[in-house]
Amino acid sequence: MSSSITFEKNNPYDPITLSIWDDKYAVQAPIVLEDATLLKDCMFIYKAKMKFVNDAAGQAAPETTIVKFSSGDPCQMMKMEKEANFYVDHLRTTYGNGVPTFYGLYKGDYSRKDRRSKLHTGKCACLVLQYCGEPLGIAMFKELENDRPFRQKLVELFERLHIQLGIWHRDLYPYDVLNKDGEPFIIDFSIASLHKCEISVAIVEGEVEPSPRLIPCPEFARFLNALDTWWLPTVTVWHRGLYVTNNRVKSAAYIFERIRLDRRLREDGLTDEDFWNEAVVAWKTIRSHWAKYHPKDSTIPDLGITDYEEYLGQKDDSDEDDAAAEIW
């Protein structure tokens, strides 16, 4: 039996049987889609239950799928064919692991009646993919700030697609990412292409933002910038107004003294010790990545003083020395 797919119990279309578009897209033949529910009217995207007709015993549970359907639009069909090619040729190793499993591209003829009972017929096609969860429901990637585990997995997935597989999505927005039980899936590879992603730095959350030349891939750089809080940036804004240029920092005291000089920050109600503790955390992060992000000065500075009481004691001694020098 040739590869085919059958829509049953669908509205507004009558039951339709479509044949495989090309043998390269055959997955398992034939399959039946039931209880199709329209998700996006303008794009004809359905959610449907899929079962394999070859399952004679009928014991396998129906698989939930997403069906991209097109009728009478040659451009849209060509776009679907390109996406199907990309799934088969370049994404096969990632099926079910960050990328939907591909279940085939099919074509055929359709017939349906409009509200006035007028019959419409023509050519149609559909792309069938694994259901991989729900949209994130956010407008910007930076809204993932409070879901660090998911954000980490998403970056790792994007890194795998780019660096290991050389895939450039070319149209990645929050609505192209789904969440399936805490696991991210990236969808819509209709305009994706291949490229050589030459990133020469580890993508680790909390590191100092590297030089742009270390992440020459524009899509990857834009994605990380869109997360907003992934890097400790080259210039850090502390407490709504204090700028600290990280490649000039030589100690925790440097950051702390900058804070103390800014009177506007005293309105925050935090103590000097609170500011000191924050300065120490920032300095430790900057110092731990010094050689990587300051290649012209790869000598890692001493950690120096990190205890607040020790810092105060040293500062008092320094003030006394300055006073004695003025007397003489």
Q: What is the pLDDT of residue 41?
A: 55
pLDDT at 18: 78
Mean pLDDT to the nearest integer, 275-304: 83
Kindly state the helix (H) or strand (E) to which residue 64 belongs, with its residue range: strand 63-71
- Give the start-to-end residue ranges of the domains of the chain: 4-131, 135-227, 235-322
Instruction: Examine domains 4-131 and 135-227 and report if their fold is the same.
Output: no
pLDDT tens readout for residues 192-219? 999 999 888 888 887 778 888 889 999 9
Q: Which of residues 96 and 248 earns the better pLDDT score?
A: 96
**Is the dihedral angle over the CA atoms 72, 73, 76, 82 positive or is it negative?**
positive
Fold of the CATH domain 4-131: Phosphorylase Kinase; domain 1 (3.30.200)
**In this predicted model, which residue has the larger pLDDT, 323 or 232?**
232
Is 328's pLDDT higher than 50?
no
Per-residue pLDDT, averaged over 132-151, amounts to: 93
| Mean pLDDT, rounded, of the chain | 82
What's the CATH fold of domain 135-227? Answer: Transferase(Phosphotransferase); domain 1 (1.10.510)
Q: How confident is the model at residue 89 (pLDDT cuts 50, 70, 90)?
A: very high
Counting residues of the chain whose pLDDT is more than 70, the rounded percentage is 82
What's the predicted TM-score (pTM) here? 0.73
Instruction: Tell which phi-psi region holds residue 211, choosing left (phi > 0), alpha (psi between -120 and 50) or beta.
Output: beta
Which pLDDT value is given to residue 262?
67
Residue 307 has pLDDT above 60, yes or no: yes
Phi and psi at residue 261, to the nearest 5°:
-80, -15
Task: Convert the pLDDT of each residue in 116-137 to its tens digit.
Answer: 888 878 888 889 999 999 999 9
- Residue-wise pLDDT tens digits, 224-265: 999 987 877 677 766 666 777 777 888 999 988 887 776 666
> What sections of the chain are H helices per DSSP?
74-90, 148-159, 218-227, 252-261, 272-288, 290-293, 308-327
Average pLDDT over residues 145-174: 94
Averaged pLDDT for residues 297-312:
90
pLDDT for 14 equals: 58
Half-sphere exposure of 81 (CA within 13 A, CB side): 14
More confident residue, 41 or 37: 37
Name, of 103-117, 220-234, 308-322, the range with top average pLDDT: 220-234
Which residue from 205, 67, 82, 222 is spatially nearest to 145, judged by alpha carbons? 205
